[in-house]
Structure 1
Amino acid sequence: MSVAIITGATSGIGKAFAWRFARAGHDVVLVARHEDSLAVLAQEIEQYTEVNAQILPADLSLEQGIRTVCERIDDMTNPCAVLVHAAGFALGTEFTTNIEAREQDGLRVMVEATMRLNYHAAQSMQKRGAGAIINLSSMAARMDAGTYSAHKAWVLSFSLALADELRADNIRVLAVTPGPVKTAFFDYAGNSANAMPAFFWVSADQIVDAALHALAQGKAQVTPGILQSITMAAMKIVPSVVVRTISRGGAIPHL
């Protein structure tokens, strides 16, 4: 049975992906920082589906955490067919007012872990001749939401390049660029849900629906939601000074 490895699996988008793959009959490897939360989720998944749910406690802001997940991806006895890197990191403040160590943690989770997990997944999938990688970027990749935007822009650019590189190997790579999602992430970032209009929000399940549909169509990027997709396309063509001006006005919170 194929295995889906999901980071950030105990909440939000990662949790929605975990349930979706489990209900589709995939064994899952659940990755997150807190072992207790992972154990509860694994028990629930095994209770309501017929798959195996392995827990893999790992803090991706630490070298050991990244190495732990890479080693699991490398394990060819029960190989990774799908990698979903949904682990996030909320910074929530301007770069110069933040703690340097926290900026380093965010960089490791959102950039270094993305690169290294994708590298190991690509190597494993090339040996098997198939696979899929889903990386969570953000609409913030086109915005000016502090360091978070810079990290998510890297994830988007990297994923698009990797999608082209691996297409001939029958490995699909998808960058998901959601707008605000109804999860606890904004609470962690210190931003009120009222920072964005209600009609602009989507659910984690809507993100998963859009991602899996795009993956099946062979797309390399998807922005869930019609309005969000139009906005994302518009930000790509309007002068960057316009987005920066809006950001300075406070319409786009630091994430």
Structure 2
Amino acid sequence: MATALVTGGTSGIGAAFARALAARGDDLVLVARDQERLATVAAELVAAHGVAVETLPADLAVHADVVKVAARLEDAARPIDMLVNNAGFGMHNRLLSTDIELHERAIDVMCKAVLVLGGAAGRAMKARGHGWIINVSSVSSWISQGNYSAIKAWVRVYSESLANELYGTGVTVTALCPGWVRTEFHERARIKTESLPSWIWIDPDTLVAEALQDADRGKTISIPTRLWKFLGFLVAKGPLWAMRLVSRKLTKSRD
């Protein structure tokens, strides 16, 4: 029986990971800011699947909280077999915005915390000779749509770099690069989605099922569903001028 630590594990993609992992019998450590919601989700998972669920309240924009989670990952007496670096949020504001605090928080949560937690998990897992690290990036990491794209590009390249460092140790690293996923993510970020066709959306449970399969296979980049594999290929391999044009149109559409 494995134990997985999931950041942002009470909603969206993180909650889908928690459900899927509990359903296959893995024990869980759930990390999120809302202690009450953590307790509710933990109780539901225990009742549904009979697994052990530990809760760890933490704000990953706060360095001391990140250190606390890192210490849990490196606790040799209570080993973590899988880390899912999922915590994050969407961004609607422009790079020219004077709200620098939001940009800084995004970097703290989706870059710095991923770096610290990925390193902690990697060291502990390498010492034991096995483990899985999944870092949630995005297909938008191949386009240039504001700070969110820049952050997710960092997550993707970081994951590939960490995978190189851990190659041959029994520890794999997977960058999960989804497209549009049906969660409350976009509503929270005030991103308009009404004009998007229904066929472009991914169900979070389908996303997670394919991501876990890719992680089990040791794949470094995971783009779930055939549709988004195709679209991901286009944005990753397309000419840069075309990707910049698409990025400008997407950015303008959010005005």
Q: TM-score range by the shorter chain?
A: over 0.9
Bigger CA drift: 233-242 or 72-81?
233-242
Deviations 1:116-140 (A, max 9, x none): 1000000100111100000100011
Shift of 1:56: 0.5
2:144 equivalent in structure 1 = 144
Question: Unpaired segments of 5 or more residues in structure 1?
Answer: none
1:83 pairs with 2:83 = yes
Shift of 1:227: 1.6
Distance 1:228 1:202, change over 3 A: same
Q: SS at the partner of 2:96?
A: helix
2:182 equivalent in structure 1 = 182
Distance 1:223 1:98, change over 3 A: farther
The code of the aligned residue for 1:166 comes to L
- Number of equivalenced pairs: 254
Is the CA contact (8 Å cut-off) linking 1:145 and 1:253 kept in structure 2?
Answer: no
Shift of 1:217: 1.9
RMSD: 1.4
Is the CA contact (8 Å cut-off) linking 1:180 and 1:196 kept in structure 2?
Answer: no
| In 2: Cα distance, 1:253 partner to 1:91 partner | 14
1:21 pairs with 2:28 = no
| In 1: Cα distance, 2:244 partner to 2:165 partner | 32
Shift of 1:197: 2.3
Question: Unpaired segments of 5 or more residues in structure 2?
Answer: none
| In 1: Cα distance, 2:77 partner to 2:212 partner | 26
Is the CA contact (8 Å cut-off) linking 1:4 and 1:27 kept in structure 2?
Answer: yes
1:66 equivalent in structure 2 = 66
Q: SS at the partner of 1:80?
A: coil
Bigger CA drift: 188-197 or 153-162?
188-197
Q: SS at the partner of 2:168?
A: helix
User: % of aligned pairs identical?
Assistant: 35
| TM norm structure 2 | 0.95
Q: SS at the partner of 1:97?
A: coil
1:213 equivalent in structure 2 = 213
Is the CA contact (8 Å cut-off) linking 1:144 and 1:252 kept in structure 2?
Answer: no
2:155 equivalent in structure 1 = 155
Distance 1:253 1:104, change over 3 A: farther
Is the CA contact (8 Å cut-off) linking 2:163 and 2:220 kept in structure 1?
Answer: yes
1:130-141 aligned within 5 A: 130-141=130-141
Is the CA contact (8 Å cut-off) linking 2:145 and 2:250 kept in structure 1?
Answer: no
| In 2: Cα distance, 1:84 partner to 1:195 partner | 31
| In 2: Cα distance, 1:251 partner to 1:121 partner | 36
Distance 1:132 1:253, change over 3 A: farther
